[in-house]
Amino acid sequence: MALRWGIASAGNISSDFVQALKGLPPGEHRVVAVAARALQRAQEFAGRHDVDRPYEDYRALAQDPDVQVVYVGAVNSQHFEVATLMLQHGKHVLCEKPLALNERQARRMVELARSRNLFLMEGIWSRFFPVYRRVRQLLDASAVGEPRFVSTAFGDRLEDLDRVKRKELGGGATLTLGVYMLQLQQLVFGNLQPLKVAVAGHTNEEGVDVAAAATFTYPGQKIAVLSCNASLEMPNEALIIGTTGAIRIPDFWCPTSFSLNGEVRKMPLLDNQGPFNYQNSAGLAYEAAEVRRSILAGEIESPQMTHKESIQLAGWMDLIRKELGVKFRCDFEDWDSSELN
């Protein structure tokens, strides 16, 4: 039976997500509605992707009884608001990364999902790529001994994009790029708690981070070193070094190959020619498949990307932003006051 999707926001990533669903077996996924803040954009999206019901209002989408699960592809600053609205109306939610602007918002979203027995997942699509599944197996099998070092660099020339440079949209290199690096070290070091986080970086005129670097130390001589940069093209490769070997993952946020001790293994994407806006977006299908599996199994979180991990990621990003002096409005608001506009 088809999982019935509603799409919140009609931007580039939402378009890629819907296009990616077309790479999965027919009958498994159906997009039944799309909402944008301008009706024309929703209609254009609906026409392009053959979606029945375009809405100019997220609330209308939330109230559509035919929608089972909503993909939230809005800008960062709307994730909390839109996902909360959907959960309040009984919809399961797959929300683009970062799940929220800060840890407090992330906790509220998780609490709401749990209280309603609804599925909620942060769209860390990387986690569901075949490369990640294989790397996880290799780490579990001690293929590189004990992993002790993770380094990632992730940079692209994005600093002039509104969604990256503007504070009120929840911009910044950390929320845009850093989250991918943080999720990888989280995957490698599992449940360990960092001993210390050392942070450095630069902010733009609006006070949003353009470049950030963080070093996490963990017990057992473990270290993770992360650099993200919204003003430079970087190699975008991850490196995991263990006591007996090393894994490299080119394009680590959407990888199609990795190497183990220098031996390259290719793991091509599903066959889906798009059109797509972003690199390897066909791979969004992997997370969509996991959402379907989880919901059909009655699970409210995916074991591949848990609520606890999302809360930890949000907390780490809070910490990095704090060190760099990047503060969002929601950071100053009381827990008890409504964070919905």
Give the residues lining the site for a copy of itself (CB under 8 A). Answer: 148-149, 151, 153, 155, 196-202, 210-211, 213-217, 221, 223, 225, 227, 229, 231-235, 239, 241-243, 246
| Catalytic (active site) residue 97 | yes
Residue 209: both structure tokens together: 């981070």
* For a copy of itself, the closer CB: 16 or 156: 156
Distance CA 72, CA 339 (A): 17
- As measured in angstroms, the least distance from the Cβ of 230 to a copy of itself is 10
Whether the Cβ atoms of residue 250 and residue 236 lie closer than 8 Å to each other? yes
Q: Which is nearer to a copy of itself, 11 or 149 (CB)?
A: 149
C-beta of 206: minimal distance to a copy of itself in Å? 14
In whole angstroms, the minimum distance from the beta carbon of 194 to a copy of itself comes to 9
Distance of CA 258 to the CA centre of its chain: 21
Residue 240 or 288: which CB sits closer to a copy of itself? 240
Phi and psi of 85, rounded to 5°? -55, -45
- Tell me whether residue 274 or residue 315 sits nearer to a copy of itself (CB atom): 315
Distance, CA of 209 to CA of 321 (rounded, Å) = 8
The answer to whether the Cα torsion of 58, 62, 65, 69 is positive or negative is positive
Token pair 């986080």 is found at 197
The residues facing 6 across adjacent strands are 33, 70
C-alpha to C-alpha distances, 85 to 15, 143, 242, nearest whole angstrom: 21, 44, 44
Query: Least Å distance between CB 126 and a copy of itself?
Result: 21
Min dist CB 246 to a copy of itself, Å, is: 7
Task: State how far the Cα of 66 lies from the Cα of 2, in Å rounded to an integer.
Answer: 12
Rounded to whole angstroms, the Cα distance separating 91 from 66 reads 10
> Which listed residue (22, 91, 97, 308) is catalytic?
97
User: Tokens in use for 298?
Assistant: 């009655």
Looking at the Cβ atoms of 131 and 210, the one nearer to a copy of itself is 210
Strand order across the beta sheet in which 246-250 lies: 196-203, 209-218, 222-229, 147-155, 237-242, 246-250, 257-260, 263-266
> Rounded to whole angstroms, how far apart are CA atoms 62 and 278?
27
CB of 22 to a copy of itself, least distance (A): 34
Minimum CB distance to a copy of itself smaller for 143 or for 330: 143
Instruction: Measure the CA–CA gap between 282 and 295, rounded to whole angstroms.
Output: 21
- The structure tokens 């392009």 sit at 48
Which residues are annotated as catalytic? 97
